[in-house]
Structure 1
Amino acid sequence: MNQIVFPTAFDGALRHPASFFGAERSERIEATAIDVALLHSWQALDGRSGEANIFDESRVLPAALAHCDPRGMAELFLLWEGAPRASQLIGLMPLSLERRYGARPLPHWQNWLHPNAFLGNPLIAPGRERVFWQALLAELDIAPGAGLFFHLNGVALGGPVAEALLSVCADERRRCDVVCRHQRAFLRSDLTAKAYYEQAVRPKKRKELRRQKRRLEELGRLDFERSDGSQGLEEWIDAFLALEAAGWKGQGQSALGSQDSTRALFHDMLGAMARDGRLELLSFSFESAPIAMLVNLRSGDGVFSFKTAFDESFARFSPGVLLQIENYALLDRPGFGWADSCAAPDHPMIDSLWTERRAIGRVSVAIGGAARRLAFAGLRKAEDWMAARGGDRA
């Protein structure tokens, strides 16, 4: 497997020179300008970000940029306490200037995401959310190019990051609209794993699940395994990719193994998280063949339940649900705070097991001078009109 090697010099990759914002300094750089000094500061920010986002962390995002941005469209916005690379990094977000907004040819700035990144929050040191948004929006106001507005995808609504953005925009009289929102399954409780399971799942359903597991055990050997990936990781990854590819995702070419880029990203992500001691792998095997597998990624006191797959030929035994019952053990761990399912809204399986919800939204923000803000207001009026008529938003 190819190793990602980061350059140790800029090689002309600075997109925008550092600019002052109070005592802080911001800059925009190309992904090729990620060097050892930046990675060191980035890793420090990973550990103290006020609102965790595994997909922007230094163990994950560089690999995503390497594998999922072949045209080099993405860049990093960085906010430093003082001089870049000679002071603390207090904020980071991947950005891209997109040429289309849904089906419309409307250039705009947005946080860069790939299809397997399930949260779009920037990494920001706690208490610095307002200054981060002030600096970023000021940068986009004067950024060269034809970006009409700033669009933030996949942000967790109601948290300090989103609330600070809304507050800054209100103070600056800058239009900021939540244009779409949904809820996804979330796990956060003071209950033990056993008590939570009994509260979340009806007695009749629990009885049925016990029957399904017994039936499987009567038919053959059923083994459960929990691993940190320190041994046999490559074999586990290959088994997961094969299991996922055998199901509906493989048929629809959306499985991780369907594309070389996502296959390589999965290998790199799990390898980096295993080396950092923040990977958890769960699996059920029947007669030594995996029938349900799950990947958890830890960040601070949180867990991102990143990927799961199950053998659809065993669907009558609910192997994916049986594996999630084992995953309730998260609740019994010291220091555990929450888990994000990373699931689609209204997911028929996880929504019935995790009773809390996390609000995820898309936010559009006005940038630039009077002309761009007027054009943005017209766009939002058209979107609201379409929504009122039952049409799709971008």
Structure 2
Amino acid sequence: MSHLPPASAFEVNRSHAWPMADTDQPTVRMVRHADLTADDRARWAALSAHAGAANVFAQDWFMDAALRHAADGRDAMLAVVSHHSGTWLGVMPLVTASRFGRWPARIWRGWSTTSQFLGMPLVAAQSADLFWASLLAFLDRQASGEILLHFGAFDADDPISIALLDRCRHEGRAFHIIHRFNRPAYRVGDDAADRSDAKVRSRLRSLLRRIERDHGSVAITIFDPTQPCTPWIDAFLEMEASGWKGRNGSALGSAPETEALFRTIIERGHENGSARLASLSVNGRVIAMSSWFESPSWGHGFKMTFDEEYRAYAPGQLLMREISDRIGRRADMSFDTCVPRDASNSHRLWPNNRRIIDGAVAIGSARQRFHFDMLMKARAGMAAVKACIAKAQK
């Protein structure tokens, strides 16, 4: 398939707003982050306050930092769906790409940074169907060879995700779930929300007694929200850099852009009251640190590190137990750990799951949708062949 158009063609085709036929319907426009006006930013912030509780990673303060500091942030376009009065109904950062996995294909892809654990757009729930109807129609009309919209890290049970799948069914628009997995979570109202693995908790109590016997008293500190957070950030980055991530060059401080992103996100989250910063110390020495975000209805895990000298005592899991207990005392807030279920035994502290999905939605003309169908069939055929080979090798 052909390559992406040059930058000049991209700007001509996509930098303007496209109103739908009925003037009472939303306006859709693509705008670069750098080109947002003060009015745009005010409307973005208003939408975040109204609709951002279930996805902190889509809120304006987080996404602004991500787009500023990520190496590919300048390539993203914000797809803004607005009411005719100018009020934002939803916004989704998008980029174009010339491949879908290993397959050559021109696509739109939801943009996210490496520190972003949900990819859903920021949308007012009551406007979700109107947002998707408007955005998909816009992408159909503006398509210059793109055959699909690739979305990633959506909560399968969130109203925004459900609205997308319902809209596709309503229009007869093809969509495919490409990947799905579960993340450990705590869900308010779930029958299992008051249960966690007793064996893991018993093990952690035993580890706590051992570390206190070997090294002294253990204390867990939640950082004072009225104090500057720079010392906490500095200590976190230093601890992470001293471990295996630092040796492998994958620590946050290993690259200027990832360090700047982390600093900015924690500083902004601390300033607006959503960030929670914690540390676990033994005999006065900090050996584990964690950060997460809280909104009125959802919490989201962010970054954790620990001192590898104390690995045998699982200090990160000891700290996670405290966080789990703290969240469990909040009767009104669900929590997404934002870590894979197989990441460590600490997942057993969380009795529920958050179902995460990646998928693809067909866009464009009948010809482009035919190419979409052929691509999905080719992927399915390749997967079937691989499964047969794997089965034969057992």
TM-score, length of structure 2 as denominator length: 0.88
Provide the C-alpha distance between the structure 2 equivalents of 1:240 and 1:27, rounded to a whole number of angstroms.
Answer: 40
From 196, 212, 234, give the equivalent of 1:238.
234
- Kept in 1: contact 2:143–2:364 (CA 8 A): no
AA of the residue aligned to 2:370: L
Contact 1:228 1:277 in 2 (8 A): no
Among 211, 214, 224, the alignment partner of 2:206 is 211
Q: 1:227 to 1:306 in 2, by over 3 A?
A: same
1:329 is aligned to 2:326 = yes
Letter of the aligned partner of 1:130 in structure 2?
D
Q: Percent identity?
A: 32
State how far apart, in whole Å, the 2-side matches of 1:30 and 1:50 are. Answer: 21
Measure, in 2, the Cα distance between the counterparts of 1:266 and 1:145: 36
Count of residues paired in the alignment: 371
Deviation at 1:147, TM superposition (A): 1.8
State which of 299, 310, 326 in structure 2 corresponds to 1:303: 299
SS in 2 for 1:32: helix
Contact 2:327 2:333 in 1 (8 A): no
Q: Is the 8 A contact 2:17 2:27 kept in 1?
A: no
Query: 2:90–2:122: 8 Å Cα contact kept in structure 1?
Result: yes
Partner of 1:347: 343
Deviation at 1:161, TM superposition (A): 1.2
Q: 1:32 aligns with which of 31, 34, 38?
A: 34
Does the CA contact (< 8 Å) of 2:200 and 2:345 recur in 1?
no
Contact 1:45 1:90 in 2 (8 A): yes
Tell me the equivalent position of 2:383. Answer: 387
Secondary structure of the residue aligned to 1:200 is coil
Which residue pairs with 1:20 in the alignment?
A: 20
Does the 8 Å contact 1:47/1:300 carry over to 2? no
Distance 2:270 2:311 in 1: 30
Return the match for 1:220 from 194, 202, 216: 216
**Does the 8 A contact of 2:179 with 2:358 survive in 1?**
yes
What is the alpha-carbon distance in structure 2 between the residues aligned to residue 107 and residue 229 of structure 1?
46
Query: More helix by proportion, 1 or 2?
Result: 2
Q: Report the equivalent of 2:310.
A: 314
Structure 1 residue runs of 5 or longer lacking an equivalent are 1-11
Deviating above 4 A after TM superposition, structure 1's stretches of 4 or more consecutive aligned residues are none
Report whether the alignment pairs 1:105 with 2:116.
no
Residue 81 (structure 1) aligned with residue 86 (structure 2):
no
Query: 2:151 touches 2:359 (CA, 8 Å); kept in 1?
Result: yes
What letter is aligned with 1:288? Answer: G
Structure 1 position 211, deviation (Å): 2.7
Deviations 1:144-203, CA, capped at 9 Å, x for gaps: 533221100111112211111111111111101111111111112469xxx94xx3122x
Aligned equivalent of 2:390: none
SS at match of 1:225: strand
Relative to structure 1, the CA distance from residue 50 to residue 210 in structure 2 (aligned partners, 3 Å threshold; closer, same or farther) is closer
Aligned pairs for 1:98-177 (under 5 A) are 98-177=97-176
Change (3 A) 1:375 1:18: closer
Residue 261 (structure 1) shift: 0.6
Retained in 1: the 8 A contact 2:237–2:253? yes
Cα distance, 1:228 vs. partner? 4.6
Query: Does the 8 A contact of 1:189 with 1:331 survive in 2?
Result: no
C-alpha offsets along residues 132-153 of structure 1, whole Å, 9 cap, x if unaligned? 1011111111225332211001
Contact (CA 8 Å) 2:53, 2:297: kept in 1 or not? no
Deviates more, 1:366-375 or 1:295-304: 295-304
- Cα offset, 1:235, TM superposition: 1.2
Task: Provide the aligned C-alpha RMSD in A.
Answer: 2.3
- The alpha-carbon distance between structure 1 residues 18 and 229, as it changes in their structure 2 partners (threshold 3 A), is farther
Cα deviations across residues 256-291 of structure 1 (Å, max 9, x unaligned)?
A: 112111100111111111111111111112343321
